[in-house]
Structure formats: structure tokens, C-alpha cells
């Protein structure tokens, strides 16, 4: 779908609006990002409505330039109304994706983006959750094998793998671009003798997010990744409470955070939400 000159004009960005965004970019980059994303959502919705109008035959007395002009104005106003406030979710998805992106590499701790119900209902073709189902189907056999060794339900482990890897879309890469198969963001400490991948990640110090390069373990396969993950949880005493949670997703997520698995202060809440998503797909 290309953007014509008329469509670009529908962004409703006058000189004052552009200057406001430029000023926000200097003073508050996050607010500027949200504003730009909302404007993009507005023009996307307007283009969608326009495409729907063009696909509908217009004959008789309504097939004239004046009617088309007023219909276009109505569609523009409707798109502006739909994108205001919470919108349909497209702007929020763009903001989360861009805020978690890294110019120097991938961030294995980035929040996995769950589909917005409003976005899926308003624009069915704008979001495709098949990759999530494929992710669960591909990894569940490895999770079930690891489950037999640790007692941790398979769907909880798949949920953590989904959070850490962004449903497989932000997996840690080796220097040559190949897959490290590290689905769980396990770092390579002094005791690790295997392959290593170095990437930029987000770590929290006293609640403040910082970007830094870290070394992560690399495996030959997903099976090896799950085997090492299971061994890490079952052999390290600090994860004893994690192993006691059974099928309690919230308890599992909370115990992992308390054990220091991740530095993100919101890790438990994020993990619990992703596990719930896995339950709907499994």
C-alpha cells in the first residue's frame, strides 16, 4: 500500500504540529515517539478506510466529486477519532517495539509484545499470531522433556522462552549472524566452557535501565538450550523456590524474579502475561 500525496496530507500535521514534535524530541523523546506513532496510526486507519470505500461500488446520484470529498472528510475525522486516546493498539505496539530496539544488537530481555485485541478486531490483517503458535509447537517437545527432569510444567518454560526471545523474533545471534539457540537469556559466567555470544542488553541497576554488552551462552540446538536451562534451575539452590511452584504461573514468575533471574523490576508481571498467552495457544 503506497502513500499518495493526498494520503500524506491526511496526517493532519501542520507546521505547528511538526514544530511541537521537534521540540518534544529534544525535551522528551518518549513523548515525541508516542506522538509520531499516533500520527502514523491515524494515517494508516485513514488509508484503510479509503481502500474500503474504493472497493465498494458507488453508482447513481452518490457517484460525484462532492460526495467523494465529503466522504473523504468523514473518513479522515473517523480515523482521527479512532486513533485518539488508546487508539486501536497499533501506535502502542510501535512505541514498545522502538523503545526496546537496540542499535548495537538485540535485547534478549526486551518485553514480548502481545497482540492488542482492539488492533486485531479493527485491522485483522495488521497482526498475525501464527508465529506464536509455531513457536509453541516447535518448542513444546523440548519443554516437555525438560519438564520430566525438573518437574516444572512445560508451558511455563515455553512462556519464559517466549518472553526472553520475543517469541523467537529476537533470539541472540552469534557474531556471524547464526543462531545461538539461547532462548532463556542465560549468561556465560566463569564456569561456562562452551560457545559465547556477545550482544547489547538491558540491565537494571537500582531500578534504572542501562544498555550494556554481556556474554551469553550459545548452544548447538534448542534441545541443548532446554537441557542447560533445566540443569541450571535444578542444580542451583537459589532456584529451590521456583521448583516448588508447580503449575502456579504467577508463583513461578515471582519466584524467578526473587531468585535474581532477571534485573527487570517488572519481570514477574511480564512473564506471567506471556505464560497466559501460551496457555491460549497450547
Q: How far apart are CA 253 and CA 272, in angstroms?
A: 6
Does the annotation count 19 as an active-site position? no
Residues 6+ apart with CB under 8 A from 84: 38
Q: Which one of 203, 214, 224, 269 is the catalytic residue?
A: 203
Best CA proximity match to 272, nearest among 160, 127, 190? 160
Q: Is 121 helix (H, G, I), strand (E, B) or coil?
A: helix
CB-count exposure of residue 261 (10 Å: 0-12, 13-18, 19+): buried
Other CB atoms closer than 10 Å to residue 245's CB: what's the count? Answer: 19
With left for phi above 0 and alpha for psi between -120 and 50, is residue 35 left, alpha or beta?
A: alpha
Cβ neighbours for 248, distance < 8 A, ≥ 6 positions apart: none
Told to judge if 107 belongs to the known catalytic residues of this protein, a careful annotator would answer no
At residue 139, the 3 state secondary structure works out as helix
Which helix (H) or strand (E) is 212 found in, with range?
strand 208-218
Q: Which of 111, 171, 228, 264 is catalytic?
A: 228
- Helix 154-165 / helix 249-258 crossing angle, nearest 10 deg: 60
* Residues labelled catalytic: 203, 228
Amino acid at each position: 500500500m503506497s502513500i499518495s500525496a493526498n494520503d500524506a496530507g491526511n496526517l493532519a500535521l501542520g507546521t505547528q504540529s511538526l514544530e511541537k514534535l521537534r521540540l518534544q524530541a529534544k525535551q522528551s523523546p518518549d513523548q515525541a515517539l508516542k506522538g509520531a506513532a499516533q500520527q502514523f496510526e491515524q494515517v494508516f486507519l485513514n488509508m484503510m478506510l479509503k481502500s474500503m470505500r474504493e472497493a465498494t461500488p458507488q453508482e447513481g446520484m452518490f457517484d460525484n466529486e462532492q460526495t467523494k470529498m465529503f466522504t473523504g472528510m468523514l473518513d479522515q475525522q473517523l480515523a482521527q477519532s479512532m486513533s485518539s486516546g488508546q487508539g486501536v493498539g497499533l501506535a502502542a505496539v510501535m512505541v514498545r517495539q522502538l523503545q526496546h530496539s537496540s542499535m548495537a544488537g538485540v535485547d534478549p530481555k526486551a518485553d514480548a509484545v502481545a497482540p492488542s485485541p482492539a488492533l486485531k478486531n479493527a485491522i485483522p490483517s495488521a497482526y498475525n499470531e501464527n508465529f506464536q503458535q509455531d513457536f509453541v509447537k516447535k518448542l513444546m517437545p523440548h519443554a516437555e522433556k525438560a519438564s520430566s527432569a525438573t518437574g516444572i510444567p512445560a508451558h511455563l518454560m515455553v512462556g519464559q522462552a517466549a518472553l526472553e526471545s520475543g517469541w523467537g523474533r529476537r533470539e541472540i545471534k552469534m557474531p556471524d549472524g547464526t543462531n545461538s539457540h539461547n532462548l532463556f537469556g542465560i549468561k556465560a559466567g566463569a564456569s561456562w566452557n562452551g560457545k559465547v555470544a556477545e550482544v547489547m542488553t538491558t540491565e537494571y541497576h537500582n531500578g534504572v535501565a542501562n544498555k550494556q554488552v554481556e556474554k551469553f551462552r550459545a548452544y548447538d540446538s534448542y534441545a541443548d538450550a532446554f537441557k542447560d536451562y533445566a540443569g541450571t534451575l535444578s542444580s542451583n539452590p537459589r532456584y529451590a523456590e521456583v521448583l516448588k511452584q508447580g503449575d502456579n504461573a504467577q508463583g513461578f514468575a515471582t519466584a524467578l524474579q526473587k531468585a535474581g533471574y532477571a534485573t527487570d523490576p517488572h519481570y514477574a508481571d511480564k512473564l506471567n502475561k506471556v505464560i497466559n498467552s501460551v496457555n491460549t495457544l497450547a
